[in-house]
Every structure is written in structure tokens, then in C-alpha cells.
Amino acid sequence: MIKLSGITPSGTAHLGNYLGAIRRWATRSEPEDLYFVSNMHAMTTKHSAEELRLLTSHQLAVLVAAGVPKEQLFVQSDLMREHMALAWILECTCTFGEARRMIQFKEKSQGSASVRLGLLTYPVLMAADILLHGTARVPVGEDQNQHVELARTLARRFNTDYGEVFVVPEAVLPEAGARVRSLSDPSRKMSKSISDDGGTVYVLDEPDVIRRKFRRAMTDSRNEVRYAPDEQPGVANLLDILAACQDSTPEHVIQGIGSYRDLKEAAAEAVVTTLSPVRERALELLEDKVELAQIRQEGADHARKRSEERLNQAIFLAGLV
């Protein structure tokens, strides 16, 4: 049962990505699972080519440094020909109505005709990502369910109309990982694309920068350290982070913490301890361009080999050879 998960280099990887996803990918993956840096999804709005190149390397380095198995990891654009060939076949399987109905498209385009066409078609590219690799399970949050549903529809339609080739994938809830909120505004999740430098802790942040961000984290005026996410979201976020770093529970880590200052310090130190080895290894990889390039090449070769036969069959069944 192949599981496929991706991370989009729409910014630098942050603590939420790490505690909520990457750490699990590194420790709980099955040998057939696949992970990829979905850099082609980071260009549906006007983007800087140089920045995208850099963020893609950063993301890959962080994943490798965190221990995601190298042979199960690839960069999407290294298989651009494969992903795009299938995306075209699937675009010709998808109706305009189906693409237009996607909630994310509606929300992000807001009816404007000047949005990039890629914003409309990227769910089809996502279907190609999923179907190309024979994915059976796609761990996604609520917001991506509709896209996996589209991938299921397209797989079934192609299989029925042209011949059985695709596994019909299923959306599965990601294993419960920590949900990390912004340190400066705990009402929303920590995010890479929203400009919130004070509220977002990046995996590559220096320890002192991390400590400063925690010192300034938003709490409340109650001065009472208790775990009450609805009433004290800032304090609860710090306890969640501390618990996640220590593989514990908020109820357990709260013991012995008497003030917001102690809590911030404890959370900062736990994060520094958790992220430091990842940061150091990632920086080494970013410095040694040869090693990172080799990892990237081998990951791509491996993913290509695994998907080759399925793509060739789809091309044949579609009548293209």
C-alpha cells in the first residue's frame, strides 16, 4: 500500500512542518512509501526562479537531514517529463466543470480572469503525482480531500474508458502529529507562505533566533500556566510544542512549570535540542553541493524506475504510441 506525501517549497520548512509531518516521515515510513518536494506546485502564482531553486534545495536538505529515507525521496521537477506527460493525459480525462469546482481554485482565484491557468489545473497535476506512482493512500488534511477525490474520479474514468492501469487512491487522515500554531498569533497555524517571521520558527533558524522568538511568543494576561486551548491558545501552543519535542503530553510537561517565562524557556530549549541536529546536517548538505546533487539524482532515478512501466502503459492505452 504505497503512501505518497509531499511538501511544497512555498517557503522555508518550519517547526510545524517538522513536528507535524517530516519527523513522522523519517521515523514511521514503510519501505514502499514515497516523499517528494512538490516544487512544481510552488509556481501557480508569479514566483522568483532563483528563490524557488534555493527553497527546493533547502527543503530537500531538511528532509534528508531529518532522516527521511533518501531512496524514497525525490524532487518533483526531476521527473517533470513524467509528471507532465501524465498530467496532460489526465487533463484530457478531466472536465472543465470538475476543475472549476475545486474549492481552493474558487477561493484563491476569487473569480479573477488574471490568475494563472496553473491554479485551475494544479489539482490535475496533483492527480498525476498520485497516480503515476501507484499510490494507494494519500495522507491529507481536510483542505486537500477534494483533490484526492478528483484523482479517484480520474483514475476510475481512465481505467474504464481506456484500460485498467491506475490504482484508485484513497485519502487517509495523516497520523495525528502536532498542530503547531504561530507564536505571534496562535489563532492560526504556523505557515511558510504567510509573512510572519516572528511567529514562525524555521528549521534552519539559529538557536538564539529560536530563543528570541519564544521569548516574544504571545500568551495572555492571566499568568496561569494551564492547558486550555480554547481560553489560552498561546499557552496551549507552547505546551503542545514542548510536549511534541519531548514525545510527551501537555498534561505531563506542564508539571513543574510555574510561570510563562519558564514555559517559554522550556519550549525554546526543547525546540533548539530537537532542531539542532537537523539544522546542522542540513547546512552541511547545503554546503556540499555535490552530495546533495547526488542524493537528488539517485532519488529521481529510483522514483522514475518505479513509475516507468505505469506511465508507458497509460501512454499506450491513451493511443499515443
Spatial separation of the C-alpha atoms in residues 285 and 50, rounded to whole Å: 19
Cβ-based nearer residue to ligand AQP, 16 or 250: 16
193 binds ligand AQP (CB under 6 A): yes
Q: Find the part of the chain contacting ligand AQP (CB under 6 A) among 64-72, 190-198, 230-238, 274-282.
A: 190-198
Query: What 8-state DSSP symbol labels residue 180?
Result: P
10 binds ligand AQP (CB under 6 A): yes
Phi, psi (degrees; rounded to nearest 5) at 285: -65, -35
DSSP 44: S
CB of 140 to ligand AQP, least distance (A): 8
8: contact with ligand AQP by CB under 6 A: yes
Kindly state the cell numbers that stand for 97.
466543470
Selected from 23, 133, 137, 192, the binder of ligand AQP by CB under 6 A is 192
- Locate 167 and state its grid cell: 490504482
What part of residues 140-169 is at the interface with ligand AQP (CB under 6 A)? Answer: 141
CB of 101: closest distance to ligand AQP in angstroms?
A: 20
**What sign for the dihedral angle of Cα 69, 64, 87, 119?**
positive
Q: How far apart are CA 5 and CA 33, in angstroms?
A: 8
Tell me the window of 183-191, 222-230, 259-267, 291-299 that interacts with ligand AQP (CB under 6 A).
183-191
Which residues have a catalytic role annotated?
108, 189, 192
Q: Exactly one of 189, 281, 302, 306 binds ligand AQP (CB under 6 A); which one?
A: 189
Q: For residue 13, which of 44, 46, 56, 48 has the smallest C-alpha distance?
A: 56
Asked if residues 55 and 12 have their Cβ atoms less than 8 Å apart, the reply is yes
* Shortest Å, Cβ 38 to ligand AQP: 7
- For residue 272 the three cell numbers come to 533548539
Segment interacting with ligand AQP (CB under 6 A) among 48-56, 178-186, 217-225, 289-297: 178-186
Q: How many whole angstroms separate alpha carbon 296 and alpha carbon 290?
A: 10
Which listed range, 75-83, 107-115, 174-182, 285-293, lies at the site for ligand AQP (CB under 6 A)?
174-182
**Euclidean distance between the first and the last CA atom of the chain, given in angstroms as a whole number:** 30
CB-nearest residue to ligand AQP: 20
Site residues (CB under 6 A) for ligand AQP? 7-8, 10, 16-17, 20-21, 141, 174, 178-180, 189-194
